[in-house]
Amino acid sequence: MLLRERDGQVEVLPRDFPTNRGGLCQKGWTAAELLDHPERLTTPLLRGPDGRLAPATWAEAYARIVAGIRDTQAAHGPDAVAVFGGGGLTNEKAYALGRFARVALRTRMIDYNGRFCMSSAAAAGMRAFGIDRGLPFPLADLGHADTLLLVGANPAETMPPLARYLTELRERGGQLIVVDPRATATARLADLHLQPLPGTDLAVANALLHIALTEGWVDREYVAARTEGFDAVRRIAAGWWPARAERLSGVPVADLEATARALATARNAVILTARGAEQHAKGVDTVTAFVNLALALGLPGRPGSGYGCLTGQGNGQGGREHGQKADQLPGYRRIDDPAARAHVAAIWGVHPDELPGPGVSAYELLDALGTPTGPRTLLVFGSNPVVSAPRAARIERRLRDLDLLVVTDFLLSETAAIADVVLPTAQWAEEDGTMTNLEGRVLRRRALREPPPDVRTDLRVLADLTAAVDAGAPSYRFLSSKGPLHPPSAAADGAQPPGAAADGAQPPDAAADGTEHGGARQDGADARVVFAELRRASAGGPADYAGVTWERIDAADGVFWPCPDEDGPDTPRLFTERFATPTGRARFHPVEHRPAAEEVCAEYPLYLTTGRVLAQYQSGTQTRRVGALRRAAPEPFVELHPDLAARLGVGDGEELRVTSRRGELRAPARITATIRPDTLFAPFHWGGTGRVNSVTNDALDPVSRMPEFKVCAVRVERVTP
């Protein structure tokens, strides 16, 4: 999008860019309303003796944070302080957050909310292809496909500008096939809709591969030349005859056969997975089953064809590449790889042995908070786990049990509302940086204006805290080849130790009113320095940004990673000649269907699945405060089939109570034939009594540690007056 400011008002304009081609959804059109929202945070908040949050100075806020960190780590060790990031942070912020945790805090306890979004697809991509990039080809390729299979994706509501590619495909005579338990807006566009029982997508994928095998549609030349491990997968697929999959999933044999035929006989075919397939305790195996199908048909690396994954969050791709994951260093390096540790440690100015090892996943970190052996202090950047975490009531209790909870945000989210310290941060139109979209295209985000006087960017906050909590050794500070990351007022030349105010009474910069060095221009310069260091840290890694510069991004509508050389080409299409594995071949992995972590029973006889709606986004902290979006989707709801509603005696709009083994939600009934009779659907954008994640299952995938958001056993009843 383009932004223009007139008379103090920011106007959003569509941009004719290669991905959205001038298209925006309602959330994009209305995004600028948040910049001057009356509920915007413009000063730090501290919780006082009366239990209420009250305005404070930055000096007071930093003093509380630094004292809490020092006291916690002195009593319980480095891992007693944890950091929780977000998939909406810029690349620079994600990088700085990981560096802050591992170098300044020396903690291994860091993860981020992208663990709840893309982790299963990322793990499946890494083990099959040796690399994780959501789409290994430009988005525009979708418009040229003859057959497109969407599994657990609803872009007509979640990514409306992408839906035009689906329309183009169908106008050209291509075939769109959607796998989803609901007849979503996307499914209603499809030529064929497979409506499986929640949690049975893996069986559907294995059945499709079975059909391809029996009909002779496997590309055996491709399999022999470009893959390994097919025999083990073939043996499992042999046991998934279509009638067996139909009995388990409810998808008719005829629809399975039609889907396999459409994929196998198309000149160009694409398979895309999304959250519906991934947010399960077997999400990695489910995605792997569809990757196996794509490999058997010879799609990955073939011009016009392929497998990909749709990324959900604003920087869902870049946010998981540069170090805020529990097991990761910048450039998508593994933190337990000695060579990776040596490379990054050299850039950070520390010994490899000083870097902590792998931490625990997002849910495991949150669930350990406040316990005798878990973290006692948590710093949250760009996330709202009170609404977004599974088994959310339990996680909320964990957060309340902390000795210190610090939240950096620009609105008072449900998580910020229970924090001890809340730091106001700049918004997207007030800071420079880069983001990486679902194609692996690195993009620039430019500041239109400066943030309010007493508001700082996340990078400024991280720089200030780094200077305040380190031990005074220069190697612990954010350094780049051109000097310090943090503003000059932080005594970067070492003349004054960063922790000179031993009692924490004064922040590292003396500008307690936030006016000095606080503007977009200064912080923009910092972002450029951080990105320069990120490039060096990522060099040689799977996500290699070494050749990406801001100037090159500006000149070319973005740069696709890997791009190891400033003077060399970037990589819009992966896998054209080899895969990123040691042998250069893609790897099949045998995966067998297994039931959901929680099956229905007499006490909990229905399945519940969750998802998004068009007018809201993520935990709703932003979108629920935009008038047009609130009017379009004012409250949570529970979808149920008319047959189920008749059995319950429920009318449209009546309040329902949905109960699982973990908790309950209350919301009005929305009766619709678009849902299976044995399944309920509720969106996850609301907190309070309508918080669907009070109900969802915290069972974790053994590989990705993704929680099972998409299926759990529940009962439903009317709420009597």
Q: Where in the chain is the domain with CATH 2.40.40.20?
A: 606-718
The number of beta carbons lying within 10 Å of the beta carbon of residue 505 is 12
Cα 315 to chain centroid, rounded: 7
Report whether pLDDT(497) > 50. no
pLDDT of 225: 98
pLDDT of 82: 98
Question: Do 459 and 520 meet the contact criterion of CB atoms below 8 Å apart?
Answer: no
The number of beta carbons lying within 10 Å of the beta carbon of residue 59 is 20
Which of 223-232, 436-445, 459-468, 511-520 shows the lowest per-residue confidence on average (mean pLDDT)? 511-520
Q: Where in the chain is the domain with CATH 3.40.228.10?
A: 119-309
pLDDT of 518: 34
Q: Where in the chain is the domain with CATH 3.40.50.740?
A: 41-116+316-560
Q: What is the pLDDT of residues 37-54, one digit of tens each?
A: 999 999 999 999 999 999
Q: What is the pLDDT of residues 83-105, one digit of tens each?
A: 999 999 999 999 999 999 999 99
- If you average pLDDT over residues 483-507, what whole number do you get? 32
| Closest by CA position to 140, among listed 542, 549, 438, 562 | 438
| Closest by CA position to 704, among listed 208, 364, 429, 431 | 364
Report whether pLDDT(291) > 60. yes
Q: Dig out the tokens for 653 from the structure.
A: 């709009």
pLDDT of 526: 87
CATH class of 606-718: mainly beta
For the chain, the helix, strand and coil percentages under 3-state DSSP, each to the nearest 5: 35, 15, 45
Report whether pLDDT(298) > 90. yes
Strand partners, 54: 46
Do β-strands 655-659 and 664-671 pair in parallel, antiparallel, or remain unpaired?
Answer: antiparallel
Gyration radius (Cα) of the chain, Å = 25
pLDDT of 525: 55
pLDDT of 720: 77
Report whether pLDDT(514) > 60. no
The number of beta carbons lying within 10 Å of the beta carbon of residue 525 is 12
Distance CA 362, CA 116 (A): 8
Report whether pLDDT(483) > 80. no
Collapse the DSSP code of 706 into the 3-class scheme (helix H, G, I; strand E, B; otherwise coil) and give the result: coil
**CATH number listed for the domain at residues 41-116+316-560:** 3.40.50.740
- If you average pLDDT over residues 665-670, what whole number do you get? 97
Report whether pLDDT(709) > 50. yes
Q: Residue 195 half-sphere exposure, CB side, CA atoms within 13 Å?
A: 16
Do β-strands 606-611 and 712-718 pair in parallel, antiparallel, or remain unpaired?
Answer: antiparallel
Average pLDDT across the chain, whole number: 91
Distance CA 520, CA 456 (A): 9
Q: What is the pLDDT of residues 305-325, one digit of tens each?
A: 999 999 867 898 999 999 999
Q: What is the pLDDT of residues 199-258, one digit of tens each?
A: 999 999 999 999 999 999 999 999 999 999 999 999 999 999 999 999 999 999 999 999
Report whether pLDDT(520) > 80. no
Q: What is the pLDDT of residues 15-41, one digit of tens each?
A: 999 999 999 999 999 999 999 999 999
Sign of CA dihedral 537, 539, 541, 545: positive
pLDDT of 385: 97
pLDDT of 480: 35
- If you average pLDDT over residues 395-421, what whole number do you get? 98
Distance CA 652, CA 444 (A): 46
Collapse the DSSP code of 614 into the 3-class scheme (helix H, G, I; strand E, B; otherwise coil) and give the result: coil
- If you average pLDDT over residues 673-685, what whole number do you get? 96
Report whether pLDDT(481) > 80. no
Strand partners, 176: 148
Give the pLDDT band of residue 721 (cuts 50, 70, 90): low
**CATH number listed for the domain at residues 119-309:** 3.40.228.10
Question: Do 402 and 388 meet the contact criterion of CB atoms below 8 Å apart?
Answer: no
